[in-house]
Amino acid sequence: KQEVRIMLEKYHDVLNVCDLCKILRISKKTAYRLIKEGEIPYRQVGRTYKIAKQELIKYLSQKSIENKGATCL
């Protein structure tokens, strides 16, 4: 979890979709899908989506734990 905090240090406490794309190295389409499917909690302000950095840290930590259990055959 500490590595994630360091990785996100230069970003504001509230992120937008472009920030999310840069951090996760994903397309806007994928970012909107993660948001709409509830994978990453957000707030809508007007026409923009705002993601709390803390929520992204939780998401990345959860994904890290899930991936540790995965094995390649």
Encode pLDDT of 11-24 as tens digits: 999 999 999 999 99
pTM of the model: 0.82
pLDDT of 71 > 60? The answer is no
Q: pLDDT tens-digit profile of 45-56?
A: 999 999 999 999
Backbone dihedral angles phi then psi of residue 9, each to the nearest 5 degrees:
-55, -40
Backbone dihedral angles phi then psi of residue 25, each to the nearest 5 degrees:
55, 55
Q: What is the pLDDT of residue 3?
A: 83
pLDDT of 69 > 70? The answer is no
43, containing H or E segment? strand 43-45
Q: What is the pLDDT of residue 63?
A: 84
DSSP 32: H
